[in-house]
């Protein structure tokens, strides 16, 4: 069932507003390796841990030659507040109607305290310069996310 999209598949194109309300289209970023990560909600503990770790390891991502983009089902105003409050140095996108989460297979049923609800699964897709998904982390951990991503990028470059 999860993930719907796996390595070797073309990354579904999309256009979403960033933290400043500016439109970002995935296909316009071709020619660059993209780390596209989905997170459940801005300003929650796990999402903050993950985003701040990416921020703090910016030099490693830059050295690997990748652009990091985070997507959540939050509205632009909430994404902006999170981006500014945590002084993030990468792009966050607002997928308020969760259409992109659906297309990537990360809009899933979750449960907490006995209640079930739909939400974004924390997952990461590494997309190559040609727009093809090369690696998927279907259930990323905020604490180990960067190590997993940077290791996968190194392996992909070594095998290229």
Q: What is the pLDDT of residue 2?
A: 47
**Domain ranges in the chain?**
15-159
pLDDT of residue 160: 61
Contact status, residue 19 vs residue 92, Cβ threshold 8 Å: yes
Residue 47 falls in the annotated catalytic set: yes
Low-confidence ranges of the chain (pLDDT < 70): 1-4, 160
CA distance 129 to 26: 11
HSE-up of 84 (CA within 13 Å, CB side)?
A: 9
Domain 15-159: CATH superfamily, name plus number: Glutaredoxin (3.40.30.10)
pTM for the complete prediction?
0.93
Q: Could you write out the DSSP letters of every residue in 1-21?
A: ---SS-TTSBPPP-EEEBTTS
Give CA–CA dist 106/84, Å, rounded.
Answer: 25
């Amino acid at each position: 069932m999860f993930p719907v999209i796996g390595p070797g598949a073309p990354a579904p194109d999309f256009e979403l507003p960033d933290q400043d309300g500016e439109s970002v289209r995935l296909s316009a970023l071709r020619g660059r390796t993209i780390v596209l990560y989905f997170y459940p909600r801005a300003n929650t503990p796990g999402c903050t841990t993950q985003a701040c770790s990416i921020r703090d390891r910016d030099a490693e991502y830059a050295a690997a030659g990748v652009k990091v983009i985070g997507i959540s089902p939050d509205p632009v105003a909430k994404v902006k507040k999170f981006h500014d409050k945590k002084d993030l140095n990468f792009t966050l996108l607002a997928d308020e109607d969760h259409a992109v989460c659906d297309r990537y297979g990360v809009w899933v049923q979750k449960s907490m305290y006995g209640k079930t609800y739909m939400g974004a699964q924390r997952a990461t897709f590494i997309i190559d310069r040609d727009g093809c998904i090369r690696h998927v982390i279907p259930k990323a951990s905020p604490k180990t996310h960067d190590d997993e991503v940077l290791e996968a990028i190194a392996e992909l470059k070594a095998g290229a």
